[in-house]
Structure 1
Amino acid sequence: MAMKQTQTKLFDFSDVGLDFCAGSKNLFPDRFKKMLALGYNEQTVSSVAVAGNQVTLTYGGAHGYVADRVLKVDAGALALVNDGEFWIDSVTTNTVTFTLDPAPPSVESGFNTRIAPLGWELVYEQANIHVYKLKALDESNIFLRLCFQNNTAYRNRVSPCVGRSFNPSTGEITDEAALAETKNITSPATFAWEFSLAANATYDNHSYANGYNIFGRAVVVGSKYHLALLCSTWSGSTARVNAVIPYQSLDYSVIKLPLLLGETATPTGNGQNNQLTNLKLYAGKFETKIQASNSTTFAPSYAAAQSFLPLAIDGFNTTTAGPLMIYEKISGQFLGITNGFYYTYYGVSSSDVPSSDNKVVPLQTADVDISSICFVHCVAAGQQNVFFTIPVEEIKIA
């Protein structure tokens, strides 16, 4: 078995150390810190066994780790290899096994491990405002400001703003190219990432299990360059994709910021079932779309006549996915192409399209070429689904 990439990481809302649901608005600031900057579920290794390139860590009891997460080793010899990060291949109740090329003949135990965060830095935290430092594809610093919900009577939503600069005293994004609406707000604005449909406090502290019957599955895929939050805001078909998406843009400074995918809705009261109705994609302060036409609609309902490649090309039912082509909304002019975030080419037959029920999506599947995990998720319901594919694989190869 070959050593796997650790640039892009996967989290599940059910993970030990996270254990929250999309409605848990009181828990969101803490859980975001864990996923983005701190890591979670710290455990102490009691012994280490090395067999070829397979390293097995044994713990004194149940560790709570699962396969396909990235383990962070904080001290000892392993901490000096691959920045101390290793993809978990398999687990038992008290062991974790990963691949290391080349592996040392022996490793001393007694060190701590945790699930590795995305590697962002929390540079500002006051009340319900967080500012994180991440990386643009050119390795320059980018700052993401998150305004979490601070009103117990309102639904769970987070307003993002991304820019190249911020004020470390106030937490305000100071980049003139950034989205003005969310630069310095203290409560979520019209543009936001939606996580709950109901405007009440019922689910504020719910665990994953407590909220599952309402909110269903939820996963996070990200790296130091990007973030995709895949969840539903209520039972049935209320899927949401909220994201920070890097893209290769034309060489204009005012659009050379990661894309923000979210939606616009009235901040108070209940939310909307269908994200596609209000979906927004911003490049800095410019609204964009993913179809080249004189229509200002974000996306077509379907992008393919059929959902699978012809059998003469591939004998398996293979659906392709391609990077998003980004166009300025009003002019329809091309701006760039996304990294690590893809449009899924399902066809017009609803029988070939995955269910949008929140117990099914986000749907885990696999890339047939390199066998990496992919998640397929949608932003609408029924016949009007628009699906995206987010792979758990490197989005930038040095």
Structure 2
Amino acid sequence: MIKQTQTKMFDFSDVGLDFCSGSKVLFPAVFKKFLATGYNQKSGATVSITGNQVTLNFGVSHGYAADRVLKVIATGGYSKEVYIDSVTDQTVTFTDSSTSALSGTITTYIAPLGWSLLYEDSSVHLYKMKNLSEQDVYVRFVFQLNAGYVSSVGVCVGMSADTTTGTITDTATNTLHATAITPQTGFQFVLCQLATTQYNNYTYSEGYNYFGKGLIIGSIYHLAILNNGYYSNTCMGQINAILPCSTLYSDLDNLKSQMVVFGYNATNVSSTAFNSYPLVAQAIYLGNLSLVSRKNGNNYVLEQATSNFGLNSYYSNNIDSFNTTACSPMPLIEASTSQHLGYVYGAYTVNYFNANILDLSSSANNPAITTDIDFNNKIALQMASSGSLAGSAFIAVPLEEIKIVS
């Protein structure tokens, strides 16, 4: 079966990315690679084809990993994004039933999400992505250039922009970073909440003992960055994301983008972004509306694993015996009124009961990769905590198409 290539996954450790949550000096180049340009370009592979199985042999170590999407271009006319089924040190195997043009000089690189980079300077990138209605949505990232400040990225998402100045012109959104040239106190992406120069240029392996794992999942329609955000190995999982949604009243100006932004309320960017665990500081915005995604009355915007979900984390043996856990669509609720607005696409609440949840409290295990029982698609599981395993929220981000395109 030919696997989908719309939604892509990247690892912080990938050759060509190789960064950690604290290496803020690397963020502008890294974001550009996974969003727009791709990375780890190779040239000169030879090809062998058996049925619909295609193997590229590079003759040297290529650094690619299984489950990435590879852009393959050949001078014979072949130009496709393909899902990497498996790798050896020098070979890559993928599935394709139409390979007549795969000849001549072959060039490969890890395919980006497909966002368009419209403006770039030292601290600001302006990109264009799409919502599920295929409307253009503009995303402005403001990178931290102060070497001793927090590893944060200001983010503004709007329906209009000035590509000459690199600013968001939509006033019906959270405009904190619409024109700013450095991250401001308030809502933003935070990857490491500590202000320090220590990790600024750290590679993935240099930062691993402090930050553990990190994954990026996204498409032209969405982005989720799953990481651990502090120099501690327990209960520090984070989610920074831009996800599509379906809402009531989508004709209202502040709801038109149909894109929800997950980030953190940073009370200080020059010392410590927030003096708490990530789940406590998590914030969600749709346009200029502050939202929550929960059903109970706690103080956190994400739903914790509690008895509200049920009396067990798994289906009963009457349904299956494989310890299968269900997920729920993430509701969007206006924070000021607790009124329901809609649902998120691309990420789901995992229905764990806190008495027997999956232990992802260590940054070496968070995020984790699992699979769905029906289609064997990979799913990233991210734990966000309020300080203990029992007081955690669990988010599932599947590696599958977020929009079925005919």
TM-score (norm 1): 0.95
Unaligned runs of at least 5 residues, structure 2: none
Q: Give the letter aligned to residue 215 of structure 2.
A: V
Match of 1:384 in 2: 391
Alignment of 1:5-84 (within 5 A): 5-77=4-76, 79-80=78-79, 84=80
Aligned partners of 2:132 and 2:403 also within 8 Å: yes
CA 1:77–1:320 in structure 2 vs 1: closer, same or farther (change >3 Å)?
farther
Task: Give a deviation string over 1:202-243, Cα, whole Å, max 9, x none.
Answer: 110001111100010001000000000000112222111000
CA 1:291–1:107 in structure 2 vs 1: closer, same or farther (change >3 Å)?
closer
Match of 2:271 in 1: 269
Matched, 1:193 2:195: no
Q: Alpha-carbon deviation of 1:262?
A: 0.5
Match of 2:400 in 1: 393
Match of 2:261 in 1: 260
Match of 1:285 in 2: 288
Determine the C-alpha separation between the residues in 2 that align with 1:337 and 1:45: 46
Aligned partners of 1:49 and 1:107 also within 8 Å: no
Determine the C-alpha separation between the residues in 2 that align with 1:330 and 1:352: 31
Task: Give a deviation string over 1:344-387, Cα, whole Å, max 9, x none.
Answer: 111020x4332221111001101111111101002214121001
Aligned partners of 1:372 and 1:393 also within 8 Å: yes
Alignment of 1:134-283 (within 5 A): 134-189=129-184, 190-234=186-230, 235-236=232-233, 237-250=235-248, 251-253=250-252, 254-257=254-257, 258-266=259-267, 267-271=269-273, 272-283=275-286
Q: Alpha-carbon deviation of 1:390?
A: 0.3
Q: Give the letter aligned to residue 365 of structure 2.
A: V
Q: Aligned to 2:304, which of 281, 301, 305?
A: 301
Aligned partners of 1:118 and 1:222 also within 8 Å: yes
Task: Give a deviation string over 1:311-338, Cα, whole Å, max 9, x none.
Answer: 1111110111122111111112221111
Greater Cα offset, 197-206 or 218-227: 197-206
Aligned partners of 2:18 and 2:203 also within 8 Å: yes
Q: Give the letter aligned to residue 279 of structure 2.
A: L
Aligned partners of 2:147 and 2:196 also within 8 Å: yes
SS of residue in 1 equivalent to 2:176: helix
Q: Give the letter aligned to residue 256 of structure 1.
A: K
Paired-residue identity, %: 38
Aligned partners of 2:82 and 2:95 also within 8 Å: yes
TM-score (norm 2): 0.93
Determine the C-alpha separation between the residues in 2 that align with 1:240 and 1:171: 28
Aligned partners of 1:45 and 1:57 also within 8 Å: no
SS of residue in 2 equivalent to 1:107: coil
Greater strand proportion: 2
Q: Give the letter aligned to residue 205 of structure 1.
A: N
SS of residue in 1 equivalent to 2:208: helix
Match of 1:334 in 2: 340
Aligned partners of 1:37 and 1:119 also within 8 Å: yes
Q: Aligned to 1:318, which of 316, 321, 324?
A: 324
Q: Alpha-carbon deviation of 1:77?
A: 4.7
Determine the C-alpha separation between the residues in 1 that align with 2:223 and 2:77: 27
Q: Aligned to 2:364, which of 359, 364, 376?
A: 359
Match of 2:92 in 1: 96
Determine the C-alpha separation between the residues in 1 that align with 2:97 and 2:67: 18
SS of residue in 2 equivalent to 1:139: coil
Unaligned runs of at least 5 residues, structure 1: none
